[in-house]
Structure 1
Amino acid sequence: MAYVVTENCIRCKYMDCVEVCPVDCFYAGENFLVISPEECIDCGVCEPECPAEAIFPDSDDRSTDWIEINAELSKSWPNITRKENTPSDADEWNGKPDKKDMLSREPHKS
């Protein structure tokens, strides 16, 4: 079992979750984060830290469409272990529906 980052992270990318992960299993894209299912130890400390409420266990129905995306992108995006600057318009995007088409597959650039 693992935790999964879902749609509401797109364009929010707050990164509070990254700071608390004991196994550094977060990977960063241009406008989204993912969790490596191979590295996640299912501890759950990231879930309550997410201001966008975008992290769920893979057993939760809300994560179904995102399990494969997290697995795929965690193999090609850079690992992130520290919170960086949150996008300036993150609060404007938090909670907006239908953001899946906005997901950039480009890796994060520091």
Structure 2
Amino acid sequence: MAYVVTEPCFGCKYTDCVLVCPCDCFREGEQMLFIAPDECIDCDACRVECPVDAIFPEPEVPDEWKEFVALNREMADRCPPITDRKEPLAKGETGA
């Protein structure tokens, strides 16, 4: 099991969760963050730090966001690690 970043992160990309992750499993996409499932240790530290409630344990991902389980796995292989705080995006703004 791993934690999964879901739809509420899209267009926000808060990095509070990144700072508390003990295994540096977050990856940075253009519009949101992702969790590398093979590196996540299920510690639950990130979930409580997310200001938009976008992070769930895989079995608790709401049905309407189930596709984010596969998306996190796919994008974690493509996106670079992120370990530092960055300014969040304004909803609808494109990120770098």
Q: Distance in 2 between matches of 1:72 and 1:55?
A: 17
Q: Which residue number in structure 1 is paired with residue 66 of structure 2?
A: 64
Write out per-residue CA displacement over residues 72-106 of structure 1, whole angstroms, 9 at most, x where no aligned residue.
Answer: 0000100001111112x24xx7xxxxxxxxxx8xx
> Which residue among 83, 92, 95 is the counterpart of 1:81?
83
5+ residue gaps, structure 2, are: none
Counting helix residues as a fraction of each chain, which structure ranks higher? 2
Write out per-residue CA displacement over residues 15-38 of structure 1, whole angstroms, 9 at most, x where no aligned residue.
Answer: 100000000000001110000000
Q: Which residue number in structure 1 is paired with residue 15 of structure 2?
A: 15
Q: Distance in 1 between matches of 2:41 and 2:61?
A: 20
**Structure 2 length as normaliser, TM-score?**
0.89
Write out per-residue CA displacement over residues 34-60 of structure 1, whole angstroms, 9 at most, x where no aligned residue.
Answer: 000000000010001000100000011
Residues 1:61 and 1:26: Cα distance change in structure 2 (over 3 Å): closer
Percent of residue pairs bearing the same amino acid type? 46
Q: Which residue number in structure 2 is paired with residue 101 of structure 1?
A: none
Q: Which residue number in structure 2 is paired with residue 54 of structure 1?
A: 54
5+ residue gaps, structure 1, are: 94-103
Q: Which runs of 4+ in 1 moved over 3 A?
A: none
**Structure 1 length as normaliser, TM-score?**
0.78
Does the 8 A contact of 2:13 with 2:32 survive in 1?
A: yes
RMSD between superposed Cα atoms in Å = 1.7
The offset of 1:65, in angstroms, is 1.9
Q: Distance in 1 between matches of 2:31 and 2:19?
A: 18
